[in-house]
Amino acid sequence: MPTIELDRVILRTLLKKDANDFFEVGKDPLTTEFLTWGPFKTIKESRTMIKFTYFRRLARQEPIGYAILDKTNLKMIGTIEFHTFNQKLNTCEIGYVLARPYWNQGIMTDCVKAMTEVAFTHLGIDRVIIKHIRENMASQRVILKAGYDFIEITNQGFFHPKTHRFHDVYVYEKWRQQQ
Ligand SMILES: CC(C)(COP(=O)(O)OP(=O)(O)OC[C@H]1O[C@@H](n2cnc3c(N)ncnc32)[C@H](O)[C@@H]1OP(=O)(O)O)[C@@H](O)C(=O)NCCC(=O)NCCS
């Protein structure tokens, strides 16, 4: 995957040595509130996630995922990744997380725009999908600001292991020719 330099951050392939910084990102209960994983209690958990979620993708010949680095100090402050590839439909989804001190500065919107470009130009994907649960309004703003189109709501489409209930899932798409 190409390393990408944006205004405030650099996207480079996630490395095993990012486990300490990833722990700092993922130990925050608010940051991980809407995510299926976390909050991390130990660095072993962030290490395990890098190994078994991100690096396992190599065996399927899928990209590991990007670490988002603060350009001022090269600290890893989040991740953005492709997941749920559908080879038949030539689609994939994007997922992301950013450390709380960096929220609301437009960073993830820039990252999603860049990632979408990577999907189309580098991976040859036809259609990128992003989803969020109804309650995640910040993620919705990111998706819309990045130019995605709303498709549908899957009512009660996701059982959240943290809330122990079903949540409505909002689904968005962007097609290659729209770029
Ligand atoms: C979602 C997340 C990635 C957003 O990253 P970010 O860099 O702060 O996003 P941006 O700054 O590009 O845009 C955030 C937008 O959401 C808005 N926003 C933030 N909190 C909000 C809220 N509770 N309700 C409504 N809008 C909200 C901001 O005002 C901003 O919109 P604006 O530019 O129109 O003012 C970040 O909050 C995060 O990592 N959250 C935890 C992990 C997560 O939810 N991942 C996505 C799972 S689908």
CA of 39 to the centre of ligand 1 (A): 18
Nearest residue (by CA) to ligand 1, atom 19, is 138
Cα–Cα distance measured from residue 22 to residue 64, given in angstroms and rounded to the nearest whole number: 15
pLDDT reported for residue 177: 80
Residue from 98, 131, 160 whose mutation best tests the ligand 1 pocket (most atoms within 8 A of CB): 98
Cα–Cα distance measured from residue 116 to residue 127, given in angstroms and rounded to the nearest whole number: 9
Residue 59 tokens read as: 């065996």
Atom of ligand 1 nearest to the CA of 130: 48
Angle at 93 between CA 175 and CA 88, to 5 degrees: 70
Q: Which domains does the chain have, with CATH numbers?
A: 4-178 (3.40.630.30)
Torsion over CA: 156, 108, 65, 29 (sign): negative
Residue 109 tokens read as: 């919107």
Q: For the stretch 72-99, what's the b/e string if a residue is b when 16 or more beta carbons lie within 10 angstroms of its beta carbon?
A: eeebbbbbbbbeebeeeeebbbbbbbbb
Is the omega angle on the peptide bond into residue 2 within 30 degrees of 0, that is, cis? no
How much is the pTM?
0.97
User: Which residues form ligand 1's pocket by a CB distance below 6 Å?
Assistant: 31, 34-35, 96-98, 103-109, 132, 136-139, 141-142
pLDDT digits (tens, 9 = 90+) for 71-99: 999 999 999 999 999 999 999 999 999 99
Distances (CA, A) of 132 to 36, 105, 143: 12, 20, 9
Residue from 31, 33, 108 whose mutation best tests the ligand 1 pocket (most atoms within 8 A of CB): 108
With cut-offs at 50, 70 and 90, classify the pLDDT of residue 179.
very low
Residue 62 tokens read as: 């899928």
Residue type, 73: N
Cα–Cα distance measured from residue 78 to residue 6, given in angstroms and rounded to the nearest whole number: 14
pLDDT digits (tens, 9 = 90+) for 31-85: 999 999 999 999 999 999 999 999 999 999 999 999 999 999 999 999 999 999 9
